[in-house]
Structure 1
Amino acid sequence: MAVQLQLTQLELVPGQRIVLRKVNWQQFEDILEELSDHRSSRLVYFKGTLEIVAPLPKHEQVKVVISYLLTTLLDELDRDWESLGSTTLKRQAMQVGVEPDDCFYIQNHALMIGRDRIDLSVDPPPDLALEIDLTSRTQLSAYEALQVPEIWRYEQGGLQINVLRDGHYVESPVSLTFPDFPVIEGISRFLEMSRTTGTRPALKAFRQWVREQLPK
């Protein structure tokens, strides 16, 4: 006799993950509804396999600082943006659902003003997604199915940029969104600075550094 448990009965310790296999699309939708938005876990669904991850505190700290650095850069470059945070990006036709650590509409920002939900069967995917690979590794195949143009991934070795080319991600030293800006150098340097001086001083120093990189 199979034992049935409600997912709300499971408590994930930060840093742990659960992998469920042979999960169909309706079950995935039901799990999303059962867990609701009031949770700290992140979900990735890809062709029948569901991974539920509870991020570590360091994961959340890094995510917040990189997101702040990114929006500071956008502000200094006078570029508009809309963030949908960790909203669930999903497409039933592709059997995929992903919850990024953060995601941004930049080129397509105007389409997302005032929106808190998206339908990727008609809406474009985010222009840039942020993933912190300290608890588990980003499933790039899921993002490839959604055709997200650019992913920033942070792991212990630092920041890595992956750009979509011919349907697959390749590592790139240059950002599609900021082709003329040394993103990896700047984000890595001031993220590290935030750990010793604090977030606000690091952001202030980063803003000044960005201004120094811009053409006079």
Structure 2
Amino acid sequence: MSVLTPIHKIHVHTGSSITIANLSWQEFEDILEELGDKRQVRLAYSQNCLEIMAPSPEHERAKIVIADLVKIILRVQRRPWEALGSTTFKKRTMEAGVEPDECFYIQNYQAVIGKDRIDLDRDPPPDLAIESDVTSLTEISAYQRLGVPELWVYGKNQFKIYVLQGKEYQQSSFSPNFPDLMIIERILQVLQRAKVVGSSIALQEFEDSLRG
């Protein structure tokens, strides 16, 4: 990688991203170590391409609301889960790494209880990953290569569900994790409602509707 500016001095404007091509796995690992855990940017690496993203405030609000929606549904349905937030997931053999906005272990929640770090050579990937705002082909490719079964992507007032079929994602109109709910419509409704009455009230209304 011939980058003259040290990676920690590269500035990414809020709500945007930059791409570094022809990056080896070891260089990706070195960048992760150099930037450390306490940083404002997120990384996605797939097929020798690194993307560095700086989330916007709108992105932060949307991802929090969507993650809270997932927790509400799971709680109402009395289903256990483990939420790991923006954990770094990587697998050298697949040459892929990604840091989701939010992620959930649902079917495989027991596999990660009490773990400080996830090793995808031994541990399963999250059952559900959530991305908001700045989402790229690099990110989607990374999730695909890591074998994440379901990916939610929200941006520009659109919500998409990707389901892994074989080794590739197919866009779906329903969520395998929540097959009894019209997830796309419900999430878009709550996000729009949150802009009017605020997140907490919109989320409470959503929970009340589930409980009937």
TM-score tier, shorter chain, comes to: over 0.9
Q: Does 2:173 align with 1:173?
A: yes
Q: What are the Cα deviations for residues 86-130 of structure 1, in whole angstroms up to 9, with x where unaligned?
A: 111110001110111111000000111112210001111100000
Q: Quick one: structure 1 residues 3 and 178, their matched pair in 2 at CA, closer, same or farther if it must change by over 3 Å?
A: closer
What letter matches 1:161 in structure 2?
A: I
Q: Quote the residue 1:197 is aligned against.
A: 197
C-alpha contact (below 8 Å) 2:47/2:95 kept by paired residues: yes
How far 1:167 sits from its partner (Å)? 1.6
Which segment is superposed worse, 186-195 or 122-131?
186-195
Distance 1:44 1:26 in 2: 14
Residue 39 of structure 1 is matched in structure 2 by 39
For the 8 Å contact 1:62–1:191, the answer to whether it is kept is: yes
Structure 1 equivalent of residue 187 of structure 2? 187
**Structure 1 residues 42-78: Cα deviation after superposition (integer angstroms, max 9, x where no partner):** 1011121111011111111101111111111111110
Cα distance between partner residues in 1 of 2:122 and 2:86: 19
CA distance in 2, matches of 1:135, 1:123: 27
Q: What are the within-5 Å matches in structure 2 for residues 53-202 of structure 1?
A: 53-132=53-132, 134-138=133-137, 139-202=139-202
How far has the Cα of 1:3 moved from its partner?
6.8
Secondary structure at the aligned position of 2:121 is classed as coil
Partners of 1:84 and 1:116 within 8 A in 2: no
What is the Cα deviation at residue 158 of structure 1? 2.2
CA contact (8 A) 2:134 2:155 kept: no
Contact 1:163 1:169 survives alignment (8 Å):
yes
User: SS of the residue aligned with 2:126?
Assistant: coil
- Tell me whether 137-146 or 187-196 shows the greater mean CA deviation: 137-146
Q: Structure 1's 110 and 183: CA in aligned 2 closer, same or farther, altered over 3 A? A: same
Unpaired runs of at least 5, structure 2: none
What secondary structure does 2:123 align onto?
coil
- Unaligned 5+ residue runs, structure 1? none
Q: Distance in 2 between matches of 1:199 and 1:166?
A: 37
Q: Write the distance in 2 (CA, Å) between the matches of 1:38 and 1:194.
A: 29
Q: How many residue pairs end up in the alignment?
A: 210
User: Does the CA-based 8 Å contact 1:101-1:129 persist in structure 2?
Assistant: yes
Tell me, in whole angstroms, the C-alpha distance in 2 between the residues paired with 1:195 and 1:39.
28
Instruction: Please identify runs of 4+ aligned residues in structure 1 that moved more than 3 A.
Output: none
Tell me the percent identity: 45
Measure the CA separation in 1 of the matches of 2:3 and 2:126. 39
